[in-house]
Amino acid sequence: MDLPIRFGAIRGLLKELEVSARDDRPLAVGGARELAAVLRRDLGRGARVGAIRGDDSPEGAALYLYVLGHDPDEADQAALKRARRARVPIVAIAAGPVSDDVTLPFVLATDVVRTGAGEGFPLEEIAARIAAKLGENAAPLAARIPLLRDAVCAELISSASRRNGITAAAVFLPGADLPLLTLNQLRLVLRIAQAYGEDVGKERLPELAASVGAGIGLRALARELLDLVPVAGWAVKGAVAYAGTRALGEAAVRRFSATV
């Protein structure tokens, strides 16, 4: 059986991710001084030195976490505008007496995490917002900030599974979707490895070979199911691709988490 993906595509993917692994931009935390200091401390548990910036400057950061302890004033607006001008993604944390209907300049409503006074920071929710905001680009940051790792891997798996499910359902020519599905799965495995601080060079070939094998197995399973449910073939293909990609991602998480 021919391989579902050319070696040149794999080589290109490895090169792309090796370059992205050198992204050492930190996470910047700004806003209310005392609250920002607490958040830096909480997020920095087990983090590498320099992964979380010690000051509140957004320039050159991977993402700007901005903590509000009250309704935004001119200083807050200026800080958020500064991050916007620097083209740094923003996630805001509204802690304490911040009005529910307040609108933050330069921040989407979906990028705001709310928490009551004295409740502590919802670190899992904050990590999930960071992962959703950065997408694949969150993997190098997760390698240096372990607290982000679970959320980043969950986002990677969900995104790749949805993408493959839609691709498999939308492509009607038999076998035409397999190279793209396989490439997405390889990218998923490598990004998860990257989030765990693993190198993404030639030493990842065993995982890549397993991913290619999984793609071939999913193709065979889909063919068997299409014989049983020929009318709704698009739905069967989409479901198999989605479930198979999710299972592959979850297996990769178990594999790499065991080495940490």
- As beta bridge partners, residue 113 has 93
Tell me the domain boundaries of the chain. 7-21+149-257, 27-143
Q: Mean pLDDT over all residues of the chain?
A: 83
Instruction: Choose which CATH entry (3.40.50, 1.10.8, 3.30.2450, 1.10.3470) describes domain 27-143.
Output: 3.40.50
- Per-residue model confidence (pLDDT) at position 222: 47
Q: How confident is the model at residue 41 (pLDDT cuts 50, 70, 90)?
A: very high
pTM across the whole model: 0.84
| Cβ neighbourhood burial of 175 (10 Å; 0-12, 13-18, 19+) | exposed
Reported as type and span, the H/E element at residue 215 is: helix 205-228
Q: Which one is predicted more confidently, 125 or 228?
A: 125
- Per-residue model confidence (pLDDT) at position 209: 53
Pairing mode of beta strands 112-115, 63-68: unpaired
Amino acid at 27: L
- Per-residue model confidence (pLDDT) at position 92: 95
Tokens of 194: 């990257």
Assess contact for 23 and 140: CB atoms under 8 A: yes
- Per-residue model confidence (pLDDT) at position 54: 83
- Per-residue model confidence (pLDDT) at position 70: 87
Mean pLDDT (whole number) for 182-188: 88
Q: How confident is the model at residue 225 (pLDDT cuts 50, 70, 90)?
A: very low
pLDDT digits (tens, 9 = 90+) for 47-91: 999 999 988 899 999 999 999 988 889 999 999 999 999 999 999
Q: Is 94 helix (H, G, I), strand (E, B) or coil?
A: strand
In percent, the amount of the chain with pLDDT more than 90 equals 46
Kindly report which listed range (77-91, 93-107, 136-150, 155-169) carries the lowest average pLDDT score. Answer: 93-107
- Per-residue model confidence (pLDDT) at position 173: 47
Mean pLDDT (whole number) for 93-97: 85
Assess contact for 155 and 135: CB atoms under 8 A: yes
